[in-house]
Amino acid sequence: MCGIVGFIGKNPEHVLLNGLKRLEYRGYDSAGIAVKSTDKIELFKAKGEIKNLEKVILPIANADIGIGHTRWATHGKPDEINAHPHVSGDKTWAVVHNGIIENYTELKTKLMGFGYGFYSETDTETVAKLLEYYFAKDGDEISAVSKTISAIKGSYALGILKKDKDGIFFAKNKSPLFIAKAGEEIMLASDIICFKGFAEEYYPLTDGIFGYASRGNIVFYDKLGETKIAPVALDLGEYDNLNTYKHFMIKEIFDTKTALKNIIEYYSEKTNYDKLKDFDFSGITRVKFVGCGTAYHACLLGADMFCEKTGIEATAYVASEFRYQKVKLGSDTMVVLVSQSGETADTLAAFELAKESGAYTIAIVNVEYSTLAKRADAYFPIKAGVEIAVASTKAFSAQLSVLNVFAGIFAKKIGSETDPLSDLIKLYETFDYGNLNDFKLLADVLRYNDNLFMIGRGNDYYVAQEASLKIKETSYINSNTYYAGELKHGFLALIDEQTYVITFATDKNVLSKTLCNAEEAKARGGKVILCTCFDLSPSDAENFYYVVRVKELGNSLQAVLNIVPWQIIAYYISINKGLNPDKPRNLAKSVTVE
């Protein structure tokens, strides 16, 4: 995904840069701005992070409008040529775009047939040429914008400048875009975090909305003509205050207990607790949990919790696979979509399929103004607060907590007497972050590995998958996860005296078997790091290379206590290797393309 910002007011280049720095979590392989002075548009672009762009920007006399973009490349390699903004052949129009134009090659061929040349490999450049083409035909900007967005298929959030217009055109479909006004000044952004300190309220654009903003005025259109959008209050908290922390990732890990408290408070409120009261779920026979990456790992654990509490069959799916598997969907199915951002394209595509099939759709989401939160039949916020680091940490723990509460609320609806909050309250009372020095020590040992081996059974295996993902995405170590019982069926061949085997063993039903699997690895020279909540005899304890002790919870939210040490260890491995855990290479915080 990419970050878009637009500004109408004094010193636009300064405001645009600040906005892009706030959006850098959305993609950071190149960046650019277009600034309009009296009668021309100046372009500045750079490969890499925003700080490279900052070096090339020159002050522009009489500049009072601009658009900016930070890119996570989809079409065309990350370089200056492909960096946004992109311009029309006559340099009249400049465009920044987040999303994918699925029919851009067909449009590009048509435009080339009309004599238009192209300088980049991007799909976005087609938008700039289309604006030029339609404006040349009927000489009206809004009509040109309307015809352009009608011609393109796919997802877009667009910010558009025209060199002789004192305003910004915008359009939104499937990629997030918001706009705010402060007196005469206007700001357009992909995420409302850009409005912090600028405005107290903002306009959430929905799919199909386009318009024009000029000094102190915003006009919205939909396909029927001019329309109105009600502003909503901006409520961000202190998300961007790093306090004493060096990175957002470690700050957000240590925000976990606050998130748990927020969730308990929120779902103790009767209206929030009763979210399902208007639904008749008597006909539900199947529940499907769908997400990507960390959210998928939450789905694995959430499906297990749901089945345990309700007795209804529940299955987890990777969102990008969900549409292509032979999945039975209908009015007897409930689809629970889990997403921190609520904008992940694969998850939104799964949502559309579920919707079309008549299934109930439930969103377990962090970003409350997101597409998924707005469009699902029922929405359960995870109340984790803004999460900036690409590696999701507090949001994962919050997802598990709300999935547990959701399962409890559903169970209560079908007759259970158990308080849906009881597991979470016990987690909150038991929760601590463990021994930081232990985790720093382990990180220092593990940092030198190219590969890591993680094993577990059942929910321990799911937690191990999430621990592996944290280490992969923040330190680039190839950590892989195997079912403990599967080692002897082939994976043992990978183990030698250099191999660290991280073993998750917190489920007493399979504890002895998991410890035997760890022994199998140890017998082949593997150095076993055991993560457990059980007391070991001194002889057992000295049997392992290291023991990470977590508290025993006695319910399925044990997974939260198990993952936090590995979020912290992943963070320290990353900084020990001199990497930036907040902005891992090749990644972005929310992937709004499929």
DSSP one-letter string for 129-179: HHHHHHHHHH--HHHHHHHHHHH--EEEEEEEEETT-SEEEEEEEBS--EE
Query: Measured from the CB atom, is 23 or 510 closer to ligand AGP?
Result: 23
Please, which residue, 219 or 349, has the CB nearer to ligand AGP?
Answer: 349
Question: Between residues 452 and 553, which has the closer beta carbon with respect to ligand AGP?
Answer: 452
Q: Whose structure tokens read 């102190």?
A: 216
By CB under 6 A, tell whether 401 contacts ligand AGP.
Answer: no
Question: Least distance (Å) from ligand AGP to the CB of residue 29?
Answer: 16
* Burial class (CB within 10 angstroms; exposed 0-12, middle 13-18, buried 19+) of 282: exposed
* CA distance linking residue 56 with residue 362, whole number of Å: 46
Nearest-10 Cα torsion for 427, 292, 100, 150? -80
Beta-carbon neighbour count of residue 545 at 10 Å? 15
CB 581 within 8 A of CB 567: no
Q: Catalytic residue at 589?
A: yes
**Residue 344 within binding range of ligand AGP, rule CB under 6 A:** yes
**Nearest to 120, CA basis, from 19, 38, 32:** 32
* In the complex, minimum distance from the CB of residue 403 to ligand AGP, in angstroms, rounded to a whole number: 13
Among residues 269, 481, 239, 505, the alpha carbon closest in space to that of 366 is found at 239
* Contact range with ligand AGP by CB under 6 A, out of 157-165, 321-329, 340-348, 547-555: 340-348
Minimum distance from residue 10 beta carbon to ligand AGP (Å): 35
295 touches ligand AGP (CB under 6 A): yes
- Quick one: angle between helices 422-430 and 394-413, nearest 10? 150
Q: What is the dihedral of CA 433, 436, 438, 439, to 10 degrees?
A: 80
**282 CB contacts (<8 Å, ≥6 apart)?**
414
What are the Cα distances from residue 354, in Å, to 323, 358, 399, 410?
Answer: 9, 7, 20, 19
Is position 398 an interface residue for ligand AGP (rule: CB under 6 A)? no
Among 292, 305, 388, 443, binds ligand AGP (CB under 6 A): 292
Is 347 a binding residue for ligand AGP by CB under 6 A? The answer is yes
Nearer to ligand AGP, 185 or 473 (CB): 473
**By CB under 6 A, residue 526 contacts ligand AGP:** no
Q: Does 392 interact with ligand AGP (rule: CB under 6 A)? A: yes
CB of 204 to ligand AGP, least distance (A): 18
Q: With contacts defined by CB under 6 A, how many residues of the chain interact with ligand AGP? A: 15
Considering the rule CB under 6 A, would residue 386 count as an interface residue with ligand AGP? no
2 flagged as catalytic: yes
Helix (H, G, I), strand (E, B) or coil at 453: strand
Residue 390 contacts ligand AGP per CB under 6 A: yes
**Interface region with ligand AGP, contact rule CB under 6 A, candidates 60-68, 384-392, 448-456, 530-538:** 384-392
Q: Which of residues 445-474 bind ligand AGP (CB under 6 A)?
A: 473
C-alpha distances out from residue 106 to 86, 112, 126, 153, Å: 18, 10, 10, 11
Minimum distance from residue 574 beta carbon to ligand AGP (Å): 12
- Complex with ligand AGP: residue 181 or 470, whichever CB lies closer: 470
Tell me the three state secondary structure of residue 296: helix
User: Choosing from 47, 129, 583, 589, which is the catalytic residue?
Assistant: 589
Report the alpha-carbon distance of residue 259 to residue 99 in Å, rounded. Answer: 31
Which one of the listed residues 2, 299, 531, 533 is annotated catalytic?
A: 2
Min CB(472)–ligand AGP separation in Å: 9
List the one residue from 126, 481, 590, 592 that touches ligand AGP (CB under 6 A): 590
**Alpha-carbon gap, residue 33 to 17, rounded angstroms:** 8
Minimum separation from the CB atom of position 450 to ligand AGP (A):
21
Q: Indicate the residue whose CB is closest to ligand AGP.
A: 293
Site residues (CB under 6 A) for ligand AGP?
A: 292-295, 339-341, 344, 347, 390-392, 473, 590-591
Which residues carry out catalysis? 2, 589
